[in-house]
Structure formats: C-alpha cells, structure tokens
A and B are shown apart, each in its own frame.
Chain A
C-alpha cells in the first residue's frame, strides 16, 4: 500500500514512483498468475503435443530416444482398426446418449416452468444431482445396477415382462432376459449411454429452463386467448423460441460426449470391454499413452480427436447455427 507522504520529505519521489508503478502495472500483475500457469500447464502442453505427435517415443527410454517420424503416427492410426472402432464407439455413444438427453429435457423444462407452480426447485435439484456427483462413484453404482443375474435393472425388467399388468408392453423382452449388459459386446454401448443420459439430462433441463425463462409470458397469454392448448403452445411458441438454447445445449453435448472417459472406463474395467465395444477415443488415447507407452501415437490421437470435435461443431454451426447466432444476445 502506498501512502502519500506530505511534501517536503526526501522520500517523496521514491514513493510517488512506486505508487505510479503499481497503478500503471496493476492489471498486468493481477492477470500474470493465470498467464504464467497457463503458459506452463496449458499452452506449452498443446504445442508440445503437436510436436510429440510427429515423434516415435517410449518415455521409459528417456527423452533422448525421441525420433522424428513425420506424419507416420497419423498414417498408422488411419490404418488402425482399434482407432476406428474407438471413433465409431464414441460417435455411437454420443448420439445414443445425446439425443435422449434433449428429447427428455425440453418437455421436462417446459412442464417445470409452465405446468406446475410449486416444488419447481426441489424437482430441478433432483434431476440435477447426478450431474455434480463423481462419475467414478456413480459408474461403480451402475455396475451393480447392470448386474446380469442380480442387478436391479434386469430384475425390474424380469418383473415387468411377467407381471400381468405390464406383460403386454414388456412381454417381448422375456426371451432376451437376463441381459448381459456389460459382458456382451452389443450391450455395452447401450449400457454406457443409459448411464450418461441419467447423469447429464438434468443439466440440460436447467439450461432449457433458463432458456424458457426468457420467453415473455404475454406470448402464452395471447395464445391462450386465441384458444391454443398446451401442446400447441409448446410446438408453436416454446420450441421455435427455444432454438438458440437448443443449439447451444447441443453444442455442449457434442463437445462433452466426444470426450467421454470416466463412465466407459469404469463400466468396462479399464479394458474397453469385450471386442473393445465400449472403448471411447479418450480411453484409447489413455491406453496408448499410459498402458502401452506410445506417447507420440497418443498425442496424435489427441489431435485427431480435437479435429473431430472441431469438424462436428462446425457442421453443427453451419446447419443449425444461423438462427441460433442471430438471436443470441
């Protein structure tokens, strides 16, 4: 802290200079911790991973054994069946867990903000809770839920398939039961998707509720006077005006779902499951880098994933972004 000292004291120039200095450079000093840390732990790793992706290197043998191989890592990955499987797995899970999240969240947000008057917050909080809990913890819980013989999901389905009141709807399942959710390749991706939908739909409910809050009440009142019912109001007022938020929420889902790691990692015990049916790109990256110690290849996977995220986000912007961008702010 710089005190202004009465004129006449000999130390005045020094203290004034100090004062000027701290006033002038304060903003730079205030932002410098972030930028120093970001340079070391954010920016440098990004640049270095690009460099690393052009090298063949096993870290056990030391930095000196790094060898420049050009694009070979990328070329190799293009021919690598496991890499492509991880891409298709990731896209499969991204869609199968992404679409239901929004199809569920939009009507829910609508019901919460227009259908009811009380208990809005406790209900929203209930939907949101899985989002803030540890993905590792809830994945372990879902391991027991997905158990083949005694998992509660299969037991519930078994009950529904045989109980007289529900057999007409679920009876078709009887032959398929019990479902080996995590042991059989075709079931792994659906199981992962169920967990992801459960964990993240509440986040989207809150996003959409925030979007709905910006729609003026007058619109609904006007529609009601014109004799529109709830369904008409939903499709003709809510959905069109919610488009910018839908665009935004879907962008977040695309970016997040393409980077899934915790849930598939735990549900498949870190292996990717039988036939690698549950191995996502980030899991493959992790295994390549830290199990097989192919750091260069792992860095190349990271860049290809970023490329994929970029391309898909751009397609999303191109086809759905215009109206979204126009109305935002």
Chain B
C-alpha cells in the first residue's frame, strides 16, 4: 500500500516534470519557427534602410541603417509611388465598398426569401466559385478593351464588385444570425423590403460584413495578374505592378525596391495587427464553407 502510493507520487512527479520539459521544447520550436517565418519581413525593413553596397556585403547588415531617406528618394525618382499607393487604395476601397453592399444584399435575399429558381441561382453562385479565375482572363481583357477601359482603375474595381465568395459568406452569416420573425415584424411596421435589409439585417451582420470587407480589401490590394494585364502607364499602376517595373533593370536599386515592398506590406501589417482574428477567420471560414 505504502510502496504503491510512493510509486504513484513518483509517477506523477515525473510526468509533471517530463510534461513541463516537453512543453518548453514545444514552445521553443514553435517560437523559433514563428521567428523564422517573420524574418523575411524584418529583413525587408532592415535592407530598406541600407545602401546598395551594404546590402551586398558579407556578413549582411542585421540592424537598421541610415539610408532610408536616400532609398525613398530613389524610389520616388523611379516611380510616382505615392500615386501608385493612392491607386491601390482607390481600387481596393471601391471594390471593397461595393462588394460589401452587393454581397450582403444578395446574401440577404438568398438567406431570407423563398423564390423561384432560388436553388438554381444559388447553385450558379457556388459553381462560379469553382471556376479558376485565370480561365476568362483573355476575353476579360478584350471586354475591357472594347469598353475603352484599358489603363483605367474601373477596369479592375468594376468587375470586382461581383463576389460570389462574398455572397456565399454573407448568406451563411445572415441565415445563422437573423431570425425570420424579424422579417415579418419589419413588414408589419410598414418597412419596404430594402428597408428591412438596410435597417434590420445589416446591423445584425455587421461583424460578418467587416470580415468580408477586410478579406476583399486584402485580396484587391495584393491583386497582380489583372492590373498587370489591363494597366499600361506608370501613373495608373497599382503598387504590385509598379514594384514589378523596378525589377529587371540593369542595376536594380534594391534599397529602393525594398522600401517599396515595405510600403506595400505596411497597410496589411496594420490591418492584421488590429484585426488578425477576423482576417484569419474570414479567409479560412470562406474556404471551409466554400
């Protein structure tokens, strides 16, 4: 009896100690990997503050230098970069605002109404999610050309207003968070259907809508292939396309390039710091439910 109790105590102690060491090791590994993952961002910010000669040196600089202003000037000498940043904000902002509106409106319709062809129409929305976006890129370019929209921002934000992903996400949110009784309550109060959407449904789904907005903005901000295809002048370039033109010069000025990439990543970093949970949730929930 006594021996076994002692034994038990030892087992518990060992288990406790072993578990603690094990957990410490797990933490160590996880943190090391996190640092490794974040390192390229740190490295980008560090190199953005160094001269070309310091960037190409061994061992490489590991701490911030003093060439930030010089690199920034070099970037602005090459590109109308502030204009490019504005273009990106403008396009991503409009696409996001319209997507939030149209997707929540359609999601509301699919979640709250019974109507003819509803299943076929919603099936079309879901099916369109499965089409690889690259399939239509050539005709898309031709349509833009035919509309006379080549080299304009609306060539990008206008088609981006139709987000099947957004409709899908909003339908899920609305169906799960808005009681049907509210529809009738609104009608009895004399509200029009749009009014019910605007004054009752929208406030309820605000968190879901914010998530959709974040995800859409990030996607548009990073979008590369479409702007690359339809934009042609430096003044109209978005940030990724502008950065691309810095490359392949005989002497790429890496300090200038990296301050450009830093500025491209900075808004996303800020968004992510403020709302990482929502961003992750939105991107993953969208794909899981899709």
Contact surface of A with B, Cβ cutoff 8 Å: 1-4, 19, 22-23, 26-28, 30-31, 33-35, 37-38, 40-46, 48-49, 52, 59, 108, 111-112, 115-116, 119, 121-138, 140-145, 147, 149-150, 152, 155, 198, 202-203, 206-207, 210, 230, 248, 252, 255, 259, 261-262, 265-266, 269-270, 282, 285-286, 289-290, 295, 298-299, 302-303, 305-306, 309
Say which residue of A38, A142, A262 sits within 8 Å of B40 (CB atoms).
A142
Say which residue of A33, A121, A149 sits within 8 Å of B277 (CB atoms).
A121
Other A-B pairs, 20, CB within 8 Å; known A33-B105, A41-B159: A1-B191, A34-B163, A37-B158, A37-B162, A42-B162, A44-B139, A45-B138, A45-B140, A49-B135, A52-B138, A59-B145, A137-B261, A140-B258, A149-B58, A210-B288, A230-B22, A265-B224, A289-B141, A302-B134, A302-B136
The chain B residue with its CB closest to the CB of A142 is B40
- The complex places the Cα of A123 from the Cα of B38 at a distance, in Å, of 10
Indicate if the CB atoms of B43 and A152 lie closer than 8 Å.
Answer: yes
7 tightest A-B CB contacts, nearest first: A45-B136, A37-B162, A26-B193, A45-B139, A30-B109, A41-B159, A126-B34
Chain A nearest CB, measured from B282 CB (Å):
10
Indicate if the CB atoms of B137 and A289 lie closer than 8 Å.
Answer: yes
Q: Is the C-beta of B210 less than 8 angstroms from some C-beta in chain A?
A: no
Chain A residues within an 8 Å CB radius of B283: 131-132, 203
Chain B nearest CB, measured from A181 CB (Å):
14
Known: A1-B192, A134-B222, A136-B224. A116 touches B264 (CB 8 A): no
Chain A nearest CB, measured from B212 CB (Å):
14
- The complex places the Cα of A120 from the Cα of B224 at a distance, in Å, of 32
The chain B residue with its CB closest to the CB of A24 is B115
23 A–B contacts from the bound complex (CB under 8 Å): A22-B192, A26-B109, A28-B115, A35-B121, A37-B159, A42-B136, A45-B136, A49-B138, A108-B30, A115-B26, A121-B277, A125-B280, A135-B240, A136-B222, A144-B258, A207-B287, A207-B288, A252-B287, A282-B134, A295-B138, A305-B134, A305-B135, A306-B132
The chain B residue with its CB closest to the CB of A28 is B115
Chain B residues within an 8 Å CB radius of A203: 283-284
Indicate if the CB atoms of B109 and A31 lie closer than 8 Å.
Answer: yes
- The complex places the Cα of A292 from the Cα of B22 at a distance, in Å, of 58
Interface band, chain B: 35 or more
Chain A residues within an 8 Å CB radius of B33: 108, 127
Indicate if the CB atoms of A285 and B161 lie closer than 8 Å.
Answer: no
Chain A residues within an 8 Å CB radius of B224: 134-136, 261-262, 265
Q: Is the C-beta of B102 less than 8 angstroms from some C-beta in chain A?
A: yes
Q: Is the C-beta of B257 less than 8 angstroms from some C-beta in chain A?
A: yes
The chain B residue with its CB closest to the CB of A255 is B132
- The complex places the Cα of A41 from the Cα of B133 at a distance, in Å, of 11
- The complex places the Cα of A265 from the Cα of B272 at a distance, in Å, of 26
Known: A34-B167, A45-B136. A136 touches B243 (CB 8 A): yes
Indicate if the CB atoms of A34 and B37 lie closer than 8 Å.
Answer: no
The chain A residue with its CB closest to the CB of B115 is A27
- The complex places the Cα of A226 from the Cα of B83 at a distance, in Å, of 65
- The complex places the Cα of A136 from the Cα of B247 at a distance, in Å, of 11
- The complex places the Cα of A142 from the Cα of B257 at a distance, in Å, of 12
Say which residue of A19, A266, A309 sits within 8 Å of B247 (CB atoms).
A266
The chain A residue with its CB closest to the CB of B114 is A27
- The complex places the Cα of A167 from the Cα of B238 at a distance, in Å, of 46
- The complex places the Cα of A126 from the Cα of B133 at a distance, in Å, of 28
- The complex places the Cα of A325 from the Cα of B264 at a distance, in Å, of 40
Known: A30-B106, A152-B60, A262-B225. A134 touches B138 (CB 8 A): no
Indicate if the CB atoms of B134 and A270 lie closer than 8 Å.
Answer: no
Indicate if the CB atoms of B225 and A123 lie closer than 8 Å.
Answer: no
Q: How would residues 251 to 290 of chain B score, 1 for a CB under 8 Å from any chain A CB and 0 otherwise?
A: 0001001101100110011001000110110011001100
- The complex places the Cα of A43 from the Cα of B162 at a distance, in Å, of 12
The chain B residue with its CB closest to the CB of A4 is B190
Chain B residues within an 8 Å CB radius of A111: 26, 29-30
Known: A121-B276, A133-B268. A266 touches B244 (CB 8 A): yes
Indicate if the CB atoms of A150 and B218 lie closer than 8 Å.
Answer: no
Chain B nearest CB, measured from A182 CB (Å):
12
Residues of B166-195 at the interface with A, using a CB-CB cut-off of 8 Å, are: 167, 187, 190-195
Indicate if the CB atoms of B143 and A44 lie closer than 8 Å.
Answer: yes
Chain B residues within an 8 Å CB radius of A150: 55-58, 60
Indicate if the CB atoms of A207 and B102 lie closer than 8 Å.
Answer: no
Chain A residues within an 8 Å CB radius of B276: 121, 125, 128
